[in-house]
Amino acid sequence: MELQPEDALEIVLGHPASRQVVFAGPFGVGKTTALRAISEIPVVNTDVASRELDTAQRTGGKTTTTAGFDYGEFRLAAGERVAVFGLPGQERFDAMWDLLVPASAAVVLWAYGDQAEGVNQCATWLRALGQRASLLRVAVAVSRLPLAAQEAGLAPYRALVQRLHPLAVVQAADPRAAEDVRRMVAAALTALPGAVRGD
């Protein structure tokens, strides 16, 4: 059978979303979980077995890590489609940071609210993001904060962000709760772009 011109398949490169958001943060903080909570398509992931056994004990027994990136999509209330990429949390996979951060409209930086090193990790990530984009729209999502002590728990993160990226939004959020994740994406997309400052 001879193919006709109308039988040709349309070639589409890239994703069909009009905006791109990156979920960043340390290993095990909940980036993949957050992406799964809001994605309206099956999430594409590149999880592999992790050797971070000490970290796994602190992150609820997580035994896999993202080696490339996670990918999902969802629609904003106005119908605009957003592509969401989850970055790997380990620095050895930072080639994905170089590729995805500069191309993104905004970043949601997930941070541990229940670990002593959470604020320092947040600072490290902000600096790493700032090295990859001159201006960033950022929302910092602090997870695992006790409900009764959220404001007190957010205080050191807000002080840090005021110093390093005063235009970033800082809020408590649960990566398992779709409403929280959507709120953080919206906050990132509407944040004012700014540069990450040095200390």
The first and second tokens of residue 130, run together, are 């700032």
What is the rounded CA–CA span in Å between residue 144 and residue 121? 15
Residue 165: the pLDDT is 96
Is residue 57 scored above 50 in pLDDT? no
Parallel/antiparallel/unpaired status of strands 70-75 and 138-143: unpaired
144: left (phi over 0), alpha (psi -120 to 50) or beta: left
What is the rounded CA–CA span in Å between residue 104 and residue 1? 45
Residue 95: the pLDDT is 73
Task: Note whether 90 and 59 are within 8 A (CB).
Answer: no
DSSP string, 24-61: E-STTSSHHHHHHHH-SSPPB--EEE---HHHHHHTTS
Which of the residue ranges 8-22, 93-107, 131-145, 164-178 would you say has the lowest mean pLDDT? 8-22
195: left (phi over 0), alpha (psi -120 to 50) or beta: beta
Residue 18: the pLDDT is 78
| % of residues, the chain, pLDDT over 70 | 77
The first and second tokens of residue 118, run together, are 């959470």
Parallel/antiparallel/unpaired status of strands 106-112 and 138-143: parallel
Residue 17 burial (10 A CB sphere; 0-12, 13-18, 19+): middle
Residue 46 burial (10 A CB sphere; 0-12, 13-18, 19+): middle
Q: Supply the DSSP symbol for 194.
A: B
Span 18-42, pLDDT tens digits: 789 999 999 889 999 999 999 999 9
Is residue 138 scored above 90 in pLDDT? yes
